[in-house]
Structure formats: C-alpha cells, structure tokens
Structure 1
Amino acid sequence: MPQAPKLPLLYNPASGIATKDPDALLRPLPKDLRDRVDPIPFGPPWDFEPAIAQAVRAEGPLLVWGGDGTIHHAAKALIGRGCPVPLGAIPGGSGNGLARGLRTPLEPAGAIQRLLEGRELRMDLPSLDGEPFLNVCGMGFEAAVAHRFDAMSGRGFGTYARACWQLWRTWPATALAWDADLAPMPDPAGRLDRLRQAFKVPEAALPEQAWSLCFANLPTYGSGLWIAPGADPTDGCLQWATLARPSWFDLLAEAPTLFREGGHTPLRHEGRLRHAILRLERPLPWHLDGEPVAERDRAELTIEPRAFRMQVTGACPWQ
C-alpha cells in the first residue's frame, strides 16, 4: 500500500538568531504527528511551487517555520495559487508578529503540535496597492526601521533596537491627506475597558500628519509590541494606528505599556477603515509584514474579507 504523502515543513535556516534543527523540533511530538511531517530547508529565490503541490496532495496545511518575512513570501505564493491549502506559521524569526497576533505558542515544537491539532481560520486579506500582506503594513519611522534593519548584518531584537535608536531622533513626521471609508471602533468587551471608555475622549480622527503610521490586520508587531489592540482579522476592516515620537520620559514611562495587551497610552492613536487612499507630502519608504517595499507618496489600502486560509491553534480568539 503506498505511503500517504507527508505535510511539507519549510524552514528557513537564515531566519531569526537561533539555529533551526528540524530533528530537535519534531522529537518532542507524538509519533503520529511526527510521521505526518516532512522537513524541507528553504530560502530565496522562494520557489514554493513544489511544497504547495505536496501540501495539496497531503491535504494541507503548508507549514512554514521562519520569520515574518519568510511567512509573508509563503502567503504570497499561496495567494497566487488561489489558496489551495491553509498556511501554518511556526515562529522562527526575530519578531514573530503574525504568530503572536494569532496566539500561536512561540516555542516551535509546541506551535507545530497545536497547529496540527488546530483548525482553519478564514481571515481577511488586505493589500497595499494590490500587494497582499497578512499582519501589518506601514510607513514613516517603522518603515524606515524595516529598511535599515534589512540592510544591517545580524538579526534579533538587539539589531532591531539598534536600527530604532539610529532613526528615533532624526526621522521627521510627514503631512497626510486621506480619502477613506471609515468604520467605528468595536465596543469594549471587558469591564475594565468599558470603564475606560466612559472616561475616554472621542475616537481619534484621521491624522493630518504622522511620525509612524501602520495599517493592521492583527494586533501585534514583532517582539510583542501591541500596536493595534483592537485589530480583528475577520471584520473586513483594517485598524490604523499612529505612534507619536516618544520623549526620553516616554521611553521610560509609556513605551512599556505598548508591550502589554491591555495597555493604554497617549503615544498611540487608532481607528478603523474599510478602504483608504493616502497621499503623502513626499515619497517615503513602506513595509509589508516587515519586508521593505518601494517608496511611494500615494497608497491605496483595500481588504478582501475572509479571503485567506490560515491554520491556527485553539487559542486563536477568532472563528
């Protein structure tokens, strides 16, 4: 009797700062799960076609162990094929923003077991000028950091922090002009949030200028920064969020709040939209899921509701 095809597990040895050992990854798994997986080393030029075909034969998902950049490229390949199988993202990069937002365990062996025991989520698929992304795109300071980080040797939080430090005091704000279809922010869910809402100023208007601006499908950047706590990848909207340039005092008093899920800080302003055309006063760098993309002074943000198939764990809060 022919052996059933195994699920491909693509791993990028260059992602993150830790060595990727697929044998060590699979060793803690129950034998029945371990026998379902075929580890395959992978990297540029990003030819996903053989692995997608194997995942289809094995009835998915396509498992990818790497950073947000590797997972971004895998998602684009699946979208190009019409999303024939779900994408299972196993955290193995420097920041792991997508995995954190989906509440996937950060320990890779635990992540792969929970994903194989998990379920499929149909999540929204946003695009920047027709280029898809899964988690977050942005411009301003955060995009400048993404471009600087990409050009630096080494990976990990230390390298990212160094890129932030190099640009923090010198990166200027830019003027913005909007044509947007706005959506109301969701009602607060918890008792503490409802209490905060009662004393809250009215919802922020679209900013006329920004130092750092992102459009989020999920709530987290890499390294655990909650940039858009109310983002929901199933609501047909994107959450926009600005960060004000922090002062020395803010770095000590306010910045740690951004790394707590329920944290509220005046450094962050946010709202929701269904579609937007954004014009900048000058061409600036952008990023998609942390991957640098070309400068532009005009951008269009669109969302395709429930258009992407994602494999998630039972801890994922969305259905």
Structure 2
Amino acid sequence: MRLPILFNPASGTTPKDPDALLRPLPKNLRDRVEVLPFGPPWDFEPAIDQARRAEGPLLVWGGDGTIHHAARALFERGCPVPLGAIPGGSGNGLVRGLRTPLEPAGALRRLLEGREVRMDLPCLDGAPFVNVCGTGFEAAVAHRFAGLPGRGFAAYARATLELWRTWKPTTLAWEAEEAPMPPSDGRIERIRAAFHPGASKLPEAAWSLCFANLPTYGSGLWIAPYADPTDGCLQWATLARPTWLTLFTEAPRLFQEGGHTALRHEGRIRRATLRLERPLPWHLDGEPVAERDRAELTVEPRAFRMWVTGGCPWQ
C-alpha cells in the first residue's frame, strides 16, 4: 500500500506535474508514494484510509486552502494519521512557518524522511484552523482574493491595494485569558517592557487582527514571529494601516523574520471571547468564512498530528 499524495490542480499559479515531483526521488522513495488529483467536494475519506493502511502521513500538495480542508477532515475523524504539507499554492503560509523547503520535490523528500509533531489545534467558534485566522482588513482581502479570476502574489497585491485605501478600523471588547510573551532579545521590546510593566496589550481597536498558531502568512510575511504551535496559546497580532511613507519604510520589515516594526503589535492568549462593533468578514487559514460580530477563540493543546521535516524547530 502506497502513501497517497493528494494534489489540487487548481491551486497555485503554475500547473502541477506529478512526474516532475517524483522524478528527483530515489527509487525506494518513489515506490512508497502515489500521486492522486483531488479537489472539491473535498471527500478525504478514501485517502485517509489509504494513508492509515500504509502506516504513514496523508501527504497533500497544494496551497493553504487545500491544506486547511485536509486538516479539517483529519480533525473530524480524530486525526488517525498525521498531515504532511507539500508547498503548491501561491502563498504557502503554513509550510513557511514549519520551515519546509518551498521546492516541492525537495519538500517531499524531506517529508518522507521526516517526523511527527503534535501541534496545538486552535478553533474559531468550534471550527479548526492550523495556521492563522483573522478579521478586519486581512479577512476582507481574503474574501476579495477568493473572488478574483487569477491567483498569485500579483492578484493578492491588487486586492490588498484596493481595500487599503478604504478599510476602516473597528473597536473591540475582550474577555480573555492572557499569557506572557516569551523573553525577547530585541532592544526595542526590552525598552517598551521597562516603560510599561504589566500593561495589558489587548487592543481596543484594530484595522487588521489575526490569531496565529504559526508565525507566517503566505508570501513570507511574518505576522506573529513569536507564535509557537506547541505552547497551548495563540499569538494575536494587529497591523496598523500603513501610510504611504510607512508602506515603504516599515512594511518591508514584516517580510524579515527578525524585523521589528511599529505597524505590528502582538500578545498571547490561551482563550478569548471577542466582540466587534459591527459584523466583519473572517478567514480560517486564508479561506473566507461568514461575517460575525462575536467570536470565541480556543486552543486544544497538542491535539493535531503534523508531519514535518527535520528543519522544523518544534518537537
């Protein structure tokens, strides 16, 4: 029984070639896997059963949306096998956060030599996500992007620019169990903590707000650099609306792993109930979900089985 590799021909910006994916592998690894096309209506049951009988992970070659649907299907079945994510989308936020190689064939080889990590499983109103969920500007972009005919960074940038001009912040009310941030070696963070000891960081308003289990959005944006998918917490992060000046001086730092910027503010929660002044769009791992003006965020520690490469920093 071979391990299934599900791939979504519609995800990403370039066609997927299963032969090119497998060709660089040594024969003993090629003989372990079988590449299968897949897509809506997202019936993962046969592939999950095949992966279980092959005693290995369910490998999914696609973008964040495809991987989100696979993770949700595994969650609904009690996680009988781990999920292994091969980058094949336009953003690849999850695999970037896990430090998986971005070249698909290289990622597959490293995954076939990989290991399992028990990740936290966060939920928005009971619906699971594995990387990030959010509301405000970023969710509006996700909804707009989902309706565009093209994919890729150019289409995402176009949707972002259109909404950046008009999107307004919203006020927030919290009931949350906060958790301390990890120690930082950054001088700016140490100075801020010295002048504001013990101050609550929960924002009273936000232009864009996310809850992150892993550090990265798609396309390499480090939205929550301190996010740790094994600590039983979620990292919240807000982005301030950039001006024309900060768009060029501050925004590029969001694409640097150690980049500090005044546009991003962060904190950590174990759970939260959030109320917004008006119903706003939300997303789960970049997938649009219904508008809501109240949201409950929970975390089930170490509840999800993820298959990772040796480059993943978490055990």
TM-score, length-normalised on structure 1? 0.96
Unaligned runs of 5+ in 1: none
Displacement after TM superposition at 1:204 (Å): 6.0
The CA distance in 1 between the partners of 2:279 and 2:190, in whole Å, is 40
In the alignment of these two chains, the number of paired residues is 311
Aligned to 2:207: 211
CA deviation string 1:222-246 (max 9, x = no partner) = 0000000000000000000000000
Asked whether 1:238 is paired with 2:234, we answer yes
Displacement after TM superposition at 1:182 (Å): 0.2
The CA distance in 1 between the partners of 2:151 and 2:190, in whole Å, is 43
Displacement after TM superposition at 1:200 (Å): 2.7
Displacement after TM superposition at 1:205 (Å): 1.2
Cα distance, 1:131–1:245 mapped onto 2, change above 3 Å: same
Asked whether 1:198 is paired with 2:190, we answer yes
1:49 to 30, 45, 50: 45
CA deviation string 1:124-145 (max 9, x = no partner) = 0000000000000000000000
2:270 to 274, 299, 304: 274
Aligned to 2:119: 123
1:11-50 matches, cutoff 5 A: 11-50=7-46
1:66 to 62, 67, 86: 62
CA deviation string 1:265-304 (max 9, x = no partner) = 0000000000000000000000000000000000000000
Query: Contact 1:204–1:271 (CA<8 Å) still a contact in 2?
Result: no
Displacement after TM superposition at 1:187 (Å): 1.2
CA deviation string 1:13-64 (max 9, x = no partner) = 0001011000110000111111100000000000000000000000020000
1:113-192 matches, cutoff 5 A: 113-188=109-184
1:109 to 105, 119, 123: 105
Could you say what secondary structure the match of 1:199 adopts?
helix
Query: Contact 1:218–1:231 (CA<8 Å) still a contact in 2?
Result: yes
Asked whether 1:306 is paired with 2:302, we answer yes
Unaligned runs of 5+ in 2: none
The CA distance in 2 between the partners of 1:142 and 1:291, in whole Å, is 11
The CA distance in 1 between the partners of 2:236 and 2:73, in whole Å, is 26
Displacement after TM superposition at 1:68 (Å): 0.1
The CA distance in 2 between the partners of 1:301 and 1:29, in whole Å, is 41
The CA distance in 1 between the partners of 2:26 and 2:225, in whole Å, is 35
Amino acid at match of 1:61: P
1:85-104 matches, cutoff 5 A: 85-104=81-100
Identity %: 78
The CA distance in 2 between the partners of 1:93 and 1:251, in whole Å, is 26
Displacement after TM superposition at 1:198 (Å): 3.0
Cα distance, 1:12–1:254 mapped onto 2, change above 3 Å: same
The CA distance in 1 between the partners of 2:94 and 2:70, in whole Å, is 13
RMSD: 0.9
Aligned to 1:295: 291
Could you say what secondary structure the match of 1:13 adopts?
coil
Amino acid at match of 2:139: A
Amino acid at match of 2:231: D
Could you say what secondary structure the match of 2:192 adopts?
coil
